[in-house]
Structure 1
Amino acid sequence: MRNIIIIDDHPLTISAYKSLLTQEFENNICVHTAHNGNEVIQKVSALAANQEKICLAIVDYSIPPSDDGTIKNGTDVAALIKKHFKNCMLVFLTMHNEPLLLHNLHLKFSPQGIISKNDIDADSFAGIIKSISEGKIYRSDTMIESLSIIMNKKINFDEIDSQILLLLSKKVKSKDLPKYIELSQSAIEKRKYKIKEQLLGEKGTDKELVAVAKAYNLI
């Protein structure tokens, strides 16, 4: 019996996913669920404590955060799962299609699946997940199109560069970035300079940087 965990803040969505997967895998799976950050911490910790393994996690990027602030979104969920279950397959299933966000998930986790909720239906969902569980790497059409924006513009960002730009777009002040990224202020400023070189071609303000990134549809 293989353990699968589904993280989504909509109970009806989780119920539908669970039913479809149970049929597809012919009841040879045990499906665990979580609707918010608190439940993610509880479920993952309990499975790890019982020395059970999660073989596949289906993660919605946007979920209610945990009370302790450690789980804010799907990135934190995936990091927690990978901390306890290194070999767990990750599938991000989300409405988000911002190229920089997807690029960051791709770089940080190399997930087996990145899927737009708009690209699947009841007929295709379970089959896609089963093919991923058998070793296939899957990117849905919307996600391929979004990720190609980064490649076509020949933007060379690593995971930290992407995180810096995403935080700036959320109006996190430059002086506060070390609270979110484990780098010194000077190291972050050096990275920002290189990011601005790529997107602005010259020096500019953080506000101008975010504006250009939005104009390029990166965020």
Structure 2
Amino acid sequence: MRTIKILLIDDHPLILEGYQNVLNRLEIADIKFVIETSDNCDQAWQKIVSENYDVVFLDINFPVAENSRFISGEDLGAEIKKEFGNKIKLVILTVIEDPLRVQNILRNVNPDGFLVKGETNSEELITCLKKVITYPPFYGATISKILQSGVVNPQVIDEIDRQILHQLSLGTKTKDIPLHVHLSLRAVEDRKRRLKEIMDVQQGGNKALLEKARKSGYI
């Protein structure tokens, strides 16, 4: 009998319990499912590097712990794909629906599955799991609609951009960001200008940029 080991990563206990209950009911001939959970990115990474997981379900938004290696689930997802490639099938499960944000996650992480929580029921969760372990990828309705729209934004908001947004959200002054991100002050200011252009923030300074970043799910 084949064993498929699954790790569910989300910071909401009720959501983890719900996913686990759904997947525990799944029965496929000659396959045994072993399901484990984690509620933060750092703990999850330690599990991933020490265990042999076949599938990881990952949320994007997490509270950032002090000295955390990962700002968001996107950073963890990118690291999983970088280190393990197709050995681990990665499914993003998030509330994020902003097209630009979704496109950036697809570019930066390249997950095997992508679902929006608000539209995902137990049947679709199971369908997604079956698809990613046999013939990925699997995208939910909202993600498929974004991909099928044909509207592609070439602007990528990368890990460094997200670090800058994170520091701004903590109240770090622009002049002090180079102490936390390995960039010159000029490079930080250039990236801030670019972020405002991408997010169509025309006025309001850092406050307006952060409001748009929160609305889009970057912080």
Q: Could you say whether these structures have the same fold, taking a TM-score greater than 0.5 normalized by the shorter chain as the test?
A: yes
Over the matched positions of the two proteins, sequence identity in percent amounts to 25
Residue identity opposite 1:20 in structure 2: V
SS in 1 for 2:85: coil
**1:153-176 superposed Cα distances (whole Å, 9 cap, x missing partner):** x64312338637854884664335
SS in 1 for 2:123: coil
The yes-or-no answer on 1:158 pairing with 2:160 is no
Distance (whole Å) between structure 1 residues aligned to residue 138 and residue 189 of structure 2: 35
Residues 208/20 of structure 1: CA separation in 2 closer, same or farther (3 Å cut): closer
The yes-or-no answer on 1:55 pairing with 2:54 is yes
The yes-or-no answer on 1:44 pairing with 2:48 is yes
Residues 210/169 of structure 1: CA separation in 2 closer, same or farther (3 Å cut): farther
Structure 2: segments with no counterpart, 5+ residues:
none
Assess if the C-alpha contact under 8 Å between 2:38 and 2:44 holds in 1.
yes
**Structure 1 residue 16: Cα displacement:** 3.3
**1:40-92 superposed Cα distances (whole Å, 9 cap, x missing partner):** 14422432xxxxx3222100123344554223431233244335423322111
Residues 173/129 of structure 1: CA separation in 2 closer, same or farther (3 Å cut): farther
The yes-or-no answer on 1:119 pairing with 2:123 is no
1:30 aligned residue: 34
Assess if the C-alpha contact under 8 Å between 2:114 and 2:143 holds in 1.
yes
Query: Aligned-residue CA RMSD in angstroms?
Result: 3.8
The more displaced of 161-170 and 11-20 is 161-170
2:187 aligned residue: 187
Structure 1: segments with no counterpart, 5+ residues:
48-52
**1:16-44 superposed Cα distances (whole Å, 9 cap, x missing partner):** 32343341445423222112245314422
The one of 10, 15, 18 aligned to 2:17: 15
Residue identity opposite 2:157 in structure 1: E
SS in 2 for 1:124: helix
1:103 aligned residue: 103
Residue identity opposite 1:15 in structure 2: E
Paired residues, number: 209
Question: What is the TM-score of this pair, normalised by structure 2?
Answer: 0.71
Distance (whole Å) between structure 2 residues aligned to residue 116 and residue 63 of structure 1: 16
Residue identity opposite 1:122 in structure 2: S
Distance (whole Å) between structure 2 residues aligned to residue 168 and residue 98 of structure 1: 22
Residue identity opposite 1:156 in structure 2: P
Distance (whole Å) between structure 1 residues aligned to residue 195 and residue 174 of structure 2: 14
Distance (whole Å) between structure 2 residues aligned to residue 106 and residue 129 of structure 1: 18
Residues 198/119 of structure 1: CA separation in 2 closer, same or farther (3 Å cut): closer
Kindly report which structure 2 residues correspond to 1:123-134, keeping only aligned pairs within 5 A, or say none: 123-134=123-134
Distance (whole Å) between structure 1 residues aligned to residue 205 and residue 212 of structure 2: 12
**Structure 1 residue 14: Cα displacement:** 2.4
